[in-house]
Structure 1
Amino acid sequence: MERRSAVVWSCLLGVGLTLALPPACPFNSSKADPRLPQLIGCVFLHRYNVTCRWEAGDTPTTDYTLQVHLMLALQSSFFHQAVRVLISSSVLLRPKKQHTFTCTTSDTSCTARLDGTSVNFCFCITITAHSHNQNITSHPRCQSGRTEVMLSPVTLKSSQSVNGRPRCLNLTWSYILSDFPLAGSEIKTGDLKSQIEFVAQGQFSAQVETVNVTNKSFLVCLFRPDTLYTVRLRHRYMGPESPWSPWSNACQGRTGEDAPSAAPAFWRRVKQTDKNGWRFISLLWKPLPRFLSNGRVLFFNVTCQTESAQVLTDYGSCKDLHHTNTSCSLLLPPGRWSCALTASNSAGTSPEARIWLRGASETEPPAPRQMTANPLDDSGLDVRWTAPVDWSTGGFVVDWFAVREKNGSILYWERLNSSCTALVITEGIKPMERYAVSVKALYGERGAGQNTTVHIYTRQGGT
């Protein structure tokens, strides 16, 4: 605000207020003065033109003339001396040079060419309303052209990831010096206001955010990791009187990877138990969605241990798990065990998902109640249940398979949080097929409870 006030005062000093401007209407003692045209605002295009809008006055008008008077800009070193001269002598300074750019219209807006004149100068703007018997000129408004300048669009040169900053992009931009009426020092001191528009790949609605730009290279940290963005940049000079520039060209950049932000959904299937209590276990998990993996998962890792931290030594097919794996199998000795799963990418490792398996002598917690399953159509089942009474659950697992494929071990499953007591299942569902659908409640370190199972056809074709 102080910088803008200094510019306005500098203009007024250089202009000498109304000096050399067209006169207002003459004094008429018999009538009230007519309301003059009122300037609404202007838009200056550096070295090109200025467009102004105004409200009509009271007098019927045939047309209007917009007059934009160029005043010689005072040097900043002369400013304080000029103030002293004004105060001591009460004499208005006369500009050494002036020029007027005009246009005439019957409308209430008009564009006058600036003929290559920089907006860094001061201008006084008036509107003259012409009628059949008189001309009425508005009071002048004097200001730097930059107050209402629309800056030219800049060039966005690059949008690059930042090492160790997966939510950031470093943007680099440039401009043509002759088209941009701001010095580099003014950009550094914050006279430039800026916004970016960005949209992630696969999305249609763009976001616009204000950013702080004090250099031709700047950091923006508004993004998701490992995501391709299309970005554009625009500026305006200082305050709201200056309109936003057109958007720059679009530039693409991908943010860096971050460690996965969530554990994979994890489950198990006990395939068989021998007479000594050894169990053949299948561990199952789902790939992390892109917004949680924060990059390309490279591998999974499984570890199993007892309550006393005894670690399993033979992991069967659960060793060296590739990013494409979604299951593995191993033998667990008798007793109480837990197994943990993590996913890793180039930036780090996810939180662990853990499941617990009880020993043979432990009592299973209760199963969900009032379970129902109903066919929706040929390829969907609606499953509902009620949580066990007087038990706190950590969630539920719904699993299902086609009965005739039981020996093929094609098991589908979904893990849900404790607030969910219904699920529409469509994965692996075919018409005229009989399915076994089970729901188990999860009880934290106590493991999964007893299961409730129903058999259901997608379309009633038998019993």
Structure 2
Amino acid sequence: MLLLVIVMLLAFVNGVRNEDDVQPCAKVQTASTVVPLGSPVSATCVIRDNCPLVIGQAVHIEWRLGDRLFPGSLVANESGMGSEVVIPSFNHTRGFLTCCVQASTLQVVGGVEIRAGYRPEAPQNISCQTNLTTPNTLTCSWDPGQQETHLLTKYSLHTEIWDTNENFTYELPAGVHRYIIPRTGFGLFSDMKIYVKAVNELGEATSAPIILEPVSAAKFDPPTILKIQAESKRYGCLKLSWSLSQQQAWMRDLRLNLEVRIKTADSSYWSEQPILVNRVRPARSVDQCRLRHGTQYLAQIRVRYQQSPWSEWSSRQSGVTLETAPAGRLDSWMKVSGDQLHKQLNIQLFWKPSKQFRANGQNLSYIVSGKKLPVTNGKVCSTKGNYCTFQLPERAKKIYLSAVNAAGKSSPTEVRIHLPKDRAVVSDVSVIPQDDRSLLVQWKNLVSSTLIGFVVDWRPLLKTDLSLTQFEITDRNQTRLVITGSFEPYKPYGISVYPRFKDGIGLPQTVNAYSRQKAPSMVPKIQIKKSWQSHVELTWDEIPLDQRNGIIQSYKVFYCDKKGTINVVSAEPGERRVVLKGLNTESLYEAFMMVSTSGGSMNGSTIQFNMDPFDAVTVVTTLIVSGVGLSLVLIIIVMTCFSNHKRLKGRFWPAVPDPANSSIKRWTSESTQDSHLDWDNEEPNPMYLSHLSFLELPVKLSKEDDDPWLSNKEDTSDLGESICGSPFLSGYCGSNSDSVPYATVIFSGPCDSLTSKDPHVYLRSESTQPLLENEESVTPKCYQNMATDGMQSEQCFFGPCHNCVPEEGNDPRILWDDFPFLHSLTLNDTQID
């Protein structure tokens, strides 16, 4: 529009030279200023002869459309110079076509605005809806078509009432495609013709008319269900009584179409296909049959007249069909454990209706019996729940489960009893949340010829009520199952997969699962358990199950020193400890813990700690280790010395032979040197002599004064002390020795001298062990050597001496040949001064 004003001003300025001349310099004409979009456009331009722009100048005329130039052709005209142009395709919805004169400069002398668009389409999809509430109206709407006209298009609604021959036209503002007809413009039960007309500058179009009865276009208010009841002797049927709303109750004689949708009281979904009842009056009830017996149903209805829109659904009402005895079998799941003390089986039995089961009643209860026939004394459990716990003898093999209502009892379901089997064929159980109402359980199984299927068992872990336990039974080829139910978000559920064998139930695999997870509600407090050198061990308590809000993925401990250097140490979900290493004993540290689940993380409170420069634990540990090491070294040295020095070993551990079980014949030099005390026996080795010492007498002993064996004193208990105090045995004192030899043999010469004439002297040992079995007798036994006046000494070394007199001609010393070791101890007559 602004460009048009500029063109007209230019034309006016160029074409007017004085106030008396008001005619334009040129005139532009076209067949139509509104044309179909894309059609050709032709125009002519006539320039007056007295136009100042062309007087005395060679003139060239050009055409311009927008920014494009079009050449024109000259035409003869009585009024002046003329030019004609043809534009083959006008592709603009709106444009200015101007005529220009090429003189010294290009001057615009005239122009015209051209608009383009399309004819209107015929309106489509006319629909009308009657409102039966006050005020009564008829609202009609239509579709203007898919194509934009680009031109101003007006619509008008036309109605013709056939009964009264009344015609009404309703003009609509541009762009409006909906109109509300008042109650005076129609009759509820009179047919009427309705159509719409569209008009613009290129033409008009009229829709196809529709014929309707306004009441058939009425959307009724939601109806009301008055009552739902079961009829006598009509099993599986319910009768519904209903009516229209109070505002529409006056139309009770109309025959309406009715739809009924129903569902059981425990179901979350309505029936997929509503039940249609045609041409029914509001005062007449309708029957719904083929329903389950003894089941509570919820019902809703909606109505319409002929092809009118359906009303909204009514409020729901409930009703119960007549009861019959339960039918079908129950699905069961049994957990068995043995009680060896009382020879009983502890049983937990769970059940649920199978797909074929029909309760056929409201007040349903269940009976578990050990006998198939309904015998009172065979009943072990009766409940209205979905589980039962009881005990049976170990010999029990099966039980029977029945459902009972007021009308009767179902056929019993046989449940076999199997003890659990120690077989594990299930592994890698995982749970993937699908949504708030379902979880996907997956597992792997090993190949087993006796495997017949699986049982998936789940329950909320924060509740102990066994009635919340649910289960599903699958076949052997199935390794995944979607379980559904009301899973609470952020709450843990225990899910177990049990293998089923022909002869029992195997070992399960159990995992915890959540439908949704979030960050834990709490973080445990960090505690310092111990510290040593530059290390600190931190521990914490386990998060309560109801505070986790998910499966714990990790524990992370963040700690930093006064310089701000941050370090992180992670712990596995099953551990509750970390060790911080490489700490500076002169720095103050801060630490906090972050606990994470797959749904989020939470940080705990911060603690501060520092390292003590003196570590008492380390000092004590070092001292203990050093002491133990030193003791081991000393023990090794001592043992080495003892093993290499048998005499030292004999000094500390002498073996004292038992006189009652000993024999001088066994006192060989070899056995004496190698004898040792058995470490496992407290008594000394009775078979060998552990020590034999040879003492050389520098002075001859007096037979009567110094030989203790010849003393007339009967008390010999102090002989050891007398020997210890003897001047001849100054280096020997048996009383102060830890271990003493049984006897000491003293020679007047070297041990290997056999030519000495001095008699050998045998001294009594300091040992208090009795030498004789019967010490009441003072008569010496054969193993003693007694010297008497005028008699030769008796020599006998084994047992009592019965025939000790030697044969004539034989030297008594020949007896020593049988004792190589004692051969050097041969007794010779010795004169005692």
TM-score by length of 1: 0.55
Query: How many angstroms apart in 1 are the aligned matches of 2:470 and 2:205?
Result: 80
Quick check: 1:418 aligned with 2:475?
A: yes
Alignment check: 8 A CA contact 2:221 2:245 kept? no
Give, as a single letter, the amino acid of the residue that structure 2 aligns with 1:150. Answer: A
RMSD, aligned α-carbons = 5.5
1:162 lines up with 2:268 in the alignment: no
Deviation per residue, 1:294-352 (Å, 9 max, x gap)? 565543223335xxx8998853x716x232561233446x5x74211112234554554
Asked if the contact 2:238/2:288 (under 8 Å) is kept, the reply is: yes
Q: Contact 1:270 / 1:279 at 8 angstroms: preserved in 2? A: no
Give the partner amino acid of 1:302: V
AA aligned opposite 1:211: I
Give the total of aligned pairs: 351
Is the 1:299–1:343 contact (alpha carbons within 8 Å) kept by the matching residues of 2?
Answer: yes
Deviates more, 1:220-229 or 1:109-118: 220-229
Q: What is the Cα deviation at residue 369 of structure 1?
A: 4.2
Which residue, out of 184, 190, 203, partners 1:115? 184
Counterpart contact for 2:130–2:219, Cα < 8 Å: yes
Distance in 1 (CA, whole Å) between partners of 2:177 and 2:120 is: 15
TM-score (ref. length: structure 2): 0.34
Decide whether the 8 Å contact of 1:399 with 1:413 is kept in 2.
yes
Find the aligned partners of 2:197 and 2:458 in 1 and give their Cα distance. Answer: 82
Alignment counterpart, residue 327 of structure 1, candidates 372, 389, 406: 389
Q: Which has the higher strand share?
A: 1
Give how far 1:154 is off: 4.5
CA contact (8 A) 1:123 1:144 kept: yes
> In the alignment, what sits opposite 1:45?
130
Alpha-carbon distance in 2 for matches of 1:388, 1:347:
47
The 1:181–1:104 alpha-carbon spacing in structure 2 relative to 1, beyond 3 Å, is farther
Matches within 5 A, 1:29-428: 37-45=122-130, 48-54=136-142, 56=144, 63-72=154-163, 97-106=164-173, 107-115=176-184, 117-129=186-198, 138=206, 141=209, 143-145=211-213, 149-158=217-226, 160-162=228-230, 169-175=238-244, 179=248, 184=253, 187=255, 192-196=256-260, 209-214=273-278, 215=280, 216-220=284-288, 226-227=295-296, 229=298, 231-237=300-306, 242-256=307-321, 259=326, 262-267=329-334, 269=336, 271-272=338-339, 280-286=344-350, 288=352, 294=359, 296=362, 298-305=364-371, 314-315=377-378, 318=380, 321-324=382-385, 326-331=388-393, 334=395, 337-346=397-406, 348-350=408-410, 352-357=412-417, 368-372=423-427, 386=445, 389-391=448-450, 393=452, 395=454, 416-419=473-476
Query: Contact between 1:338 and 1:354, CA under 8 Å: does it hold in 2?
Result: yes
Quick one: distance in 2 between partners of 1:156 and 1:46? Answer: 19
Q: What one-letter code is carried by the residue in structure 2 that aligns with 1:448?
A: G
1:121 and 1:68 mapped to 2: Cα distance? 12
| d(CA) in 2 for partners of 1:139, 1:385 | 67
Q: Does the Cα contact within 8 Å between 1:264 and 1:343 map onto a contact in 2?
A: no
Unaligned runs of 5+ in 1: 1-33, 73-96, 359-363, 377-381, 401-411, 426-434
1:397/1:442 contact within 8 Å kept: no
Assess if the C-alpha contact under 8 Å between 1:368 and 1:439 holds in 2.
Answer: no
Q: Distance in 1 between matches of 2:150 and 2:347?
A: 87
Q: Distance in 2 between matches of 1:208 and 1:396?
A: 31
**1:158 and 1:227 mapped to 2: Cα distance?**
17
* 3-state SS of 1:42 partner: strand
How far does residue 375 in structure 1 lie from its aligned partner after superposition? 11
Note the alpha carbon deviations across 1:200-255, whole angstroms, 9 max, x for none.
76877766634222433223459777456362413241xxxx34233143132144
TM-aligned CA deviation for residue 111 of structure 1:
1.8
Is this contact kept in 1: 2:453–2:473, CA < 8 A? no
Query: In structure 2, do the counterparts of structure 1 residues 339 and 150 end up closer, same or farther at CA, with 3 Å as the change threshold?
Result: same
User: Cα–Cα, structure 1 residues 341 and 143, in superposed 2: closer, same or farther, change >3 Å?
Assistant: same
Mark the CA change 1:210 to 1:137 in structure 2 (over 3 Å): closer, same or farther.
same
Give distance in 2, aligned partners of 1:398 and 1:126: 66
Percent identity between matched residues is 13
Q: Are the equivalent residues in 2 in contact too, given 1:38–1:56 (CA < 8 A)? A: yes
Unaligned runs of 5+ in 2: 1-118, 432-440, 460-468, 484-493, 513-544, 546-572, 577-833
Find the aligned partners of 2:227 and 2:393 in 1 and give their Cα distance.
Answer: 50
Asked whether the equivalents of residues 225 and 315 of structure 2 are also in contact (C-alpha less than 8 Å), the reply is no
